[in-house]
Each structure stands twice: as C-alpha cells, then as structure tokens.
C-alpha cells in the first residue's frame, strides 16, 4: 500500500510540474517578456514541439523512486534540447533538481556522483549552445552551487535512512538474542530441576522400596520389626516430600501481594552422616571416611558432591547384592575435593534373612539407571549417569565410574578448587 501511494504522489507531482511548465511556456512568450523589458534575443516563440519537450522533461518524475537514474537521464535529454534550441523552460528545471535529489537519496555514492556530473554537463551543454548564451560565469556558479546543495541534501537523507535502518536491525538482533538467552536459561533451569528431582526421587524411592520389601517379609514373623521398617518408610517419604518442595518451590506463583514460595537450604556435604545413617537403616552397611581438613565449599560443588554420593549409594543399595558393604571417602586437598563411593559388590554371597537392616538384593551388581552397560548391556543410559556427568563437568571435575579390579563398583569424582574453595 505504501509503494502504490508513493507512485501516485510521484505521478501527481509530474502532472503538476508539467502543467505549470506548459502554462508558463505559453503565457510568457518572447513578445510578453520583451514588453516587460526582459531581453529575449534568440528566444523561440511557443509551439507544440516545445510544449512536447516540456512534458517529456517532466514526465520522468512519475518513476523517480523506482528508476531514479534512468528517469534523470530521460529528463536531461529534453531539458538540454529546450536550452539549446532557445525555448523557454518554464519550471521544467525544477524537475531536473527533483530527479537529481531522488538519485542521491535512493542510490549509492558512485551512482549519485555520476548523476551529478551528468546534470552539470547537460546544463553547461544546453546553456552554452543556446542562441541567447549565458550572460556571465556567475550563473554557472550559482547553478552549480544549487545542484551540489540538492545533491548533498539527497545524500544526507540516504545516510540518515541507512542509519535508522541499522538501528532497527540492531534492535531486532538484540531482541532475538535476548529471546534466545531467555529460552536457553529456561531450558537450563528445567534441566537442573529435572536432575534434582531425579536424584531425590531415585534415592528415596529406592530406599523406601527396599524397606517395604523387608517389612513385607518379616510382617508375620516379627511385627515389631516390620513396624520399625514402616516408620522408616514414613520418615523417608517425608524427607523426599520436603526436598521436592524445596526444589520446585521457586516455580510456584501466588497472586497474593508479597507471597513467597517455600524455600529451604539445599543438601550438602554436611548432610553426609545423615545420608550414611539412612543407608544403614535401609540395609546397606555403609562407612564414611573424611580425610584432610574440611574447607568451605562453593554451593554448587557442595550440592554436586552430595548428589554424587547419594546416587552412588542408591546404586549400591539396589544392585550390590545382599551383604554388600559400601565406603564413602571424602578427601579434602588444598586445591581439590576427591569424593569416592565404592562397594564390594558381593551380591552372590549368601546373606542373613531379610530384615530392615539387611535386605536381599538381586544377584550381581548391575549398572542400572544409566550407570553403564558392562554387566547388563541391555540397560540403556539413563538420567542418573547423565545427571552426574553434567554436574561434575559443570565445575570442571573428572568423573570415573566402573567396576573395581578385585570386584565391586566405584563412583569417583574430583572437583578442582580455586584458592582452597
């Protein structure tokens, strides 16, 4: 719609300029100019050919935006003929100025310079070859200054238009970059929440499953022991719900002014003793060894190390077998935190009858839940291994997961620390 309107405006402009030129051409002939005291030596009287040249000089204004250089060249030819043959030009010279301005404002620097040179040459050729000639060099200078000024105005408009277009493009690029950063941040946050939920659910549900199986087996023989197992299941479930509320609390929205989500501290290395005790109650004999002087850890490293121990112990509980023992070793070094979870994996060894503290497990130590495929190749990688790998890699750590040479299984990560933190 804008292009059509512009063409309509240009067409109307061409008609107005052509009509005014023809009217002045007819009304102000040599006789009337001479009567008013204007020198008209060698000036031709109006005739149809002169009027036709005036119309042809003004007609290119209709396409000045679409083909500015071609329109200028088409208008310079009849304009030069009018000057060379001594016809009165009316206001057709205005058409040449508008066309020169159009080329400068819609085309590049090289083309606009060519248009300026062509316009000057055409004017000098027509004026010098005309019957009346030119009175003095002052007229050449004035016309040249006016043409250069018109050309400069067109170039200024083009540069301003290009500058505004660049600003719009830059704003659009910044908006797209901001949208992309927002999507990336949301995806990263969703991935983080998914890892946290997986770790919480996998650990606590595994513990509850083992305790429930033990309670079912001793329900008839020892109701008091089964009752203790059920109490442990209830406690574990409450812990799981509390951790899940802490994780997803930031996602909750409330329309009430000043309302806040329920937040709580994330678990860390300080909670390892409670985690080890929980695994003992679930039936996995677990020991915790701390070597070196504990230091204050960054929050991210603290959480990542805790989740690694939690995932490793959960894997041992589910797959190490009855009678298996696990050892959690935390070594604090000046520039590194070394965390290791290893078990003996004696799943085939006969164990005692199932109790809440000693629960039978499947034979063998499979790498379920994404821990690998060496012993159970049919199991695909899952979220456990991927989550641990992402956590360790995020902080520049080194992760080793696999069976031990003498039997058993090991999960080990080394986190680099800067300045002891």
Q: Kindly write down the DSSP assignment for every residue of 119-174, as one continuous string.
A: HHHHHHHHHHHSSS--S-HHHHHHHHHHHHHHHHHHHHHHHHHHHHHHHHHHHHHH
Helix (H, G, I), strand (E, B) or coil at 409: strand
- pLDDT class of 387 with cuts at 50, 70, 90: confident
Give residue 313's region: left, alpha or beta (phi > 0; psi -120 to 50). alpha
Question: Angle, nearest 10°, between helix axes 137-218 and 92-106?
Answer: 30
Max distance between CA atoms of the chain, in angstroms, equals 137
The pLDDT value given to residue 246: 66
Any idea which of 95-109, 172-186, 365-379 has the lowest mean pLDDT? 365-379
What are φ and ψ of residue 286, in 5° steps?
-130, 140
What are φ and ψ of residue 337, in 5° steps?
-115, 120
The pLDDT value given to residue 265: 65
DSSP 333-349: ETTEEEEEEEE---TTS
Using alpha carbons, select from 318, 302, 421, 305 the residue that is nearest to residue 364: 318
The pLDDT value given to residue 85: 76
The pLDDT value given to residue 127: 66
Residue 155 · residue 112 · CB < 8 Å: yes
Q: Please name every residue paired with 402 in a beta bridge, in sequence order, or none if there are none.
A: 410
The pLDDT value given to residue 381: 43
The pLDDT value given to residue 379: 35
What are φ and ψ of residue 254, in 5° steps?
-135, 130
What are φ and ψ of residue 419, in 5° steps?
55, 35
CA 25 to chain centre: 63
The proportion of the chain whose per-residue pLDDT surpasses 90, expressed as a percent, equals 10
Q: What is the β-pairing status of strands 325-333 and 285-291?
A: parallel
N-to-C CA span, the chain: 65
Tokens of 106: 């819609």
> Structure pTM?
0.46
pLDDT at position 146 over 90: no
The pLDDT value given to residue 289: 92
Helix (H, G, I), strand (E, B) or coil at 401: strand
Residue 83 · residue 63 · CB < 8 Å: no
pLDDT at position 353 over 50: no
């Amino acid at each position: 719609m804008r292009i059509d309107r512009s063409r309509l405006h240009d067409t109307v402009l061409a008609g107005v300029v052509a009509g005014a030129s023809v009217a002045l051409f007819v009304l102000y002939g040599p006789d009337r100019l001479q009567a008013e005291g204007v020198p008209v030596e060698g000036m031709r009287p109006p005739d149809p050919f002169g009027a036709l040249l005036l119309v042809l000089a003004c007609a290119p204004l209709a396409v000045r935006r679409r083909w500015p250089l071609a329109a200028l060249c088409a208008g310079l030819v009849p304009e030069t003929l009018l000057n060379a043959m001594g016809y009165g030009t009316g206001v057709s010279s205005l058409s040449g100025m508008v066309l020169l301005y159009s080329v400068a404002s819609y085309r590049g620097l090289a083309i606009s310079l060519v248009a300026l040179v062509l316009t000057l040459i055409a004017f000098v050729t027509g004026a010098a070859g005309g019957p009346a000639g030119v009175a003095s060099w002052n007229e050449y200078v004035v016309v040249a200054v006016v043409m250069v000024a018109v050309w400069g105005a067109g170039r200024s408009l083009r540069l301003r238009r290009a500058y505004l277009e660049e600003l719009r493009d830059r704003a659009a690029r910044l908006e797209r970059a901001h949208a992309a950063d927002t999507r990336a941040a949301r995806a990263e946050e969703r991935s983080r929440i998914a890892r946290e939920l997986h770790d919480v659910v996998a650990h606590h549900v595994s513990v509850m499953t083992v305790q429930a199986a033990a309670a079912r087996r001793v329900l008839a023989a020892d109701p008091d022991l089964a009752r203790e197992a059920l109490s442990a299941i209830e406690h574990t479930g409450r812990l799981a719900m509390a951790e899940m509320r802490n994780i997803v609390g930031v996602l909750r929205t409330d329309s009430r002014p000043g309302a806040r989500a329920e937040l709580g501290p994330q678990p860390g290395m300080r909670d390892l003793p409670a985690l080890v005790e929980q695994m003992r109650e679930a039936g996995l004999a677990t020991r915790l060894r701390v070597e070196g002087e504990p230091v204050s850890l960054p929050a991210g490293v603290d959480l990542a190390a805790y989740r690694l121990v939690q995932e490793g112990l959960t894997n041992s509980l589910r797959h190490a077998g009855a009678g298996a023992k696990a050892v959690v070793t935390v070594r604090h070094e000046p520039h590194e935190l070394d965390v290791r979870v290893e078990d003996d994996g004696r799943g085939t060894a006969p164990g005692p009858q199932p109790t809440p503290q000693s629960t039978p497990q499947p034979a063998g130590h499979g790498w379920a839940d994404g821990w690998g495929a060496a012993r159970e190749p049919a199991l695909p990688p899952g979220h456990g291994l991927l989550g641990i790998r992402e956590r360790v890699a995020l902080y520049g750590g080194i992760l080793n997961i696999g069976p031990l040479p003498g039997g058993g299984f090991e999960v080990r990560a080394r986190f680099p620390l800067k300045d002891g933190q």
